[in-house]
Amino acid sequence: MDSGPARREIVIPGELLGGRNVKPGRGTFAEREEVFSSLLGIRTERYGRVGVIRLSGRYMPYPDDLVIGIITDRGPSHWLVNIKAPYPAALHPAETPWRIDFGDTGRYLEIGDTIIANVLTVDEIKHIELTMQDMDSRRLTGGQLVDISPSKVARLIGARGSMIAMLMDFTRCRLLVGQNGRAWIDGELKDMAVVSRAVEMIEERAHMMGLTESVRAFLETEYGMRAGPRPR
Amino acid sequence: MTMEDVDHIEKKMKLIDENGLRLDGRKPEDMRPIRMEVGVLKRADGSAYIEWGGNKVLAAVYGPREAHPRHLQDPTKALVQCRYNMAPFSVTERKRPGPDRRSVEISKVISEAFDSVVFSEQFPRASVDIFIEILQADAGTRCAGLTAASIALADAGIPMRDLVASCAVGKIDGVVCLDLRKEEDNYGDADMPVAMIPRTGEVLLLQMDGHLTLDEFDKAFGMVKDAIGGIYEMQKEALRKRYAVTAEEFSDQPEQAPPERQAPPERQAPPEMPPEDMEGPQ
């Protein structure tokens, strides 16, 4: 185990992470010059700052996160977007790629539309703003949405995108994963069903060893040894 | 044969035998067997199930989520709301479903206990909802509920100062005993549920029915404090067991939580998308 990546230990709320020699990072708190974990997660340490990566819980937005949102409300000069956070996120016309007149928001995005956006800001009272200025941001049409818990998004993407690439290679679907635990799939109906079953599998078995292999085995039973160009 | 009136059955019951053992053969300082499991419900954000002697308790946590009704929202912090509910089949005589005086009280004291450990300032305007369902009751359900809800909160990823552990202590036949069961609670002299932050020893909940002298109280409190330490270890064990393998595999994954921003932020590169997909009316 020495050569591999350092095994990381699980910490539990209230667990001591270090004394005076470390600084409290994300997911921790300091009390009487000692640092404790406030979350259930994995301990990390860098530059003398200890932090905890969550292993569970709702999506909490951070600036620059890529999210898939659903429009839940619309005003004359803003939209409210559900991004699976505890709070709705606001999207303003200035942050869209379009030039929108006052009161004309409905022509561009209606309630129920799905968008790809980035988190622009999250302030201390948790007002969330989104931006669609990014190249990849757009309204999604067609396809399906599947949910996965936000802490398992990393498993769905895989190391350097390996899992997502494998899913796309086999199913020839287009696949987009938001950090907020929503994935968008577009392709043939049959293929989309396979992807959503694979996502379910990842959700259930995220904690198991050899996840990639079991997903590959599942895809091979569905398609045989199929490898082709990625969908265009 | 005529029907017999049961009122003549004596209310007194011998709870401690000549060897100093209790009805189920426990010594005064013994607890009932406890088994806990984390993450038993799929739809809730966090959940836990506990079997504590004859108690069977399910706890589920939702949130943080927007608090409803809106006028209850606190712009500075999250609400911690708890609902303690007994299933109609949890007791021998069918319990009329719905909140009653007792469960409203228990819900209140449990919410307040958790309110002081959850970092509620991190989630303004939101609420953290805890649901405790008693499937089978055998005295000490609020302690079992608190203990289960605490690990369910951790499972839901709610930031907390510490886990909360809880246990009851009481007096039966004049002897201070830990963790009373139903008969001991019904026919005993006193019952005192206690919830604590094990790390600091802060008391989050302490109720008592019946009477204890000051000496008895001190003894009882000492006993329950030790017991809570043991329960805390079981809680940690249950959480570790649930997440052990997750962490094992996590180490060969790229860090998913955005690291503190030293370098320009790295975004997860979305898979290449065809530009002709640019939607939206022109």
CA-based nearest residue in chain B for residue A68? B270
Give the span between the Cα atoms of B258 and B255, in whole angstroms. 7
Calculate the average pLDDT of chain A. 88
Question: Which pLDDT value is given to residue B133?
Answer: 97
CA distance B146 to chain A (A): 16
Sign of the torsion formed by the C-alpha atoms of A47, A52, A54 and A57: negative
What are the domain boundaries of chain A? Answer: 10-54, 66-140, 144-223
Strands (DSSP E) found in chain A: 10-11, 16-18, 23-24, 28-31, 34-37, 41-46, 49-54, 66-75, 78-82, 89-91, 114-122, 128-131, 138-140, 144-147, 174-178, 182-186
Q: Tell me whether residues B250 and A25 touch, CB distance under 8 A.
A: no
**Nearest CB partner across the interface for A56, out of B63, B156, B272:** B156
Q: What is the mean pLDDT of residues A142-158?
A: 90
Higher-confidence residue: B264 or A139? A139
Q: Do domains A10-54 and A66-140 have the same CATH topology?
A: yes
Q: What is the DSSP string of chain B?
A: -PPPPGGGS-S----B-TTS-BTTS--TTPPPPEEEEE---SSSSEEEEEEETTEEEEEEEEEEEE-SSGGG-BTTB-EEEEEEEE-GGGSSSPPPSS--HHHHHHHHHHHHHHHTTB-GGGSTTEEEEEEEEEEE-SS-HHHHHHHHHHHHHHHTT--BSS--EEEEEEEETTEEEES--HHHHHHSSEEEEEEEETTTTEEEEE--EE---HHHHHHHHHHHHHHHHHHHHHHHHHHHHHHHHHHHHHTTS---SPPPSSSSPPPPPPPP--GGG--S--
- Segment A162-206, tens digit of pLDDT: 899 999 988 899 999 999 999 999 999 999 999 999 999 888 877
From chain B, pick out residues whose CB is under 8 angstroms from the CB of A42: 247, 250
**Nearest CB partner across the interface for A125, out of B124, B251, B260:** B124
**Nearest CB partner across the interface for A207, out of B119, B160, B246:** B246
Question: Which pLDDT value is given to residue B249?
Answer: 52
A66-140 CATH choice from 1.25.40.10, 2.40.50.140, 3.10.20.600, 2.115.10.20: 2.40.50.140
A30 touches chain B (CB under 8 A): no
Q: Tell me whether residues B157 and A39 touch, CB distance under 8 A.
A: yes
A106 touches chain B (CB under 8 A): no
A111 touches chain B (CB under 8 A): no
Higher-confidence residue: B266 or A58? A58
Residues 6+ apart with CB under 8 A from A82: A69, A70, A71, A72, A88, A89
CA distance B129 to chain A (A): 12
Q: What is the mean pLDDT of residues B91-99?
A: 94
- Segment A98-131, tens digit of pLDDT: 999 999 999 999 999 999 999 999 998 899 999 9
Confidence of residue B261 (pLDDT cuts 50, 70, 90): very low
- Segment A50-62, tens digit of pLDDT: 999 888 889 999 9
Give the span between the Cα atoms of A170 and A185, in whole angstroms. 13
Query: What proportion of chain B, given as a percentage, has pLDDT over 90?
Result: 76
- Segment B207-251, tens digit of pLDDT: 999 999 999 999 999 999 999 999 999 999 999 988 876 555 554
Domains of chain B: 25-242 (3.30.230.70)
What is the b/e burial string over A139-163, where b = at least 16 CB atoms within 10 angstroms of the residue's CB?
bbeebeebebbbbbbbbbbbeebeb
- Segment A55-97, tens digit of pLDDT: 888 999 999 999 999 999 999 999 999 999 999 999 999 999 9
Test mutation, A1, A34, A207, chain B, max B CBs within 10 A: A207
Confidence of residue B11 (pLDDT cuts 50, 70, 90): low
Test mutation, A56, A79, A121, A170, chain B, max B CBs within 10 A: A56
CATH architecture of A144-223: 2-Layer Sandwich (3.30)
Supply A195's token pair: 């992807």
Domain A10-54, CATH: 2.40.50.100
Question: Which pLDDT value is given to residue B247?
Answer: 53
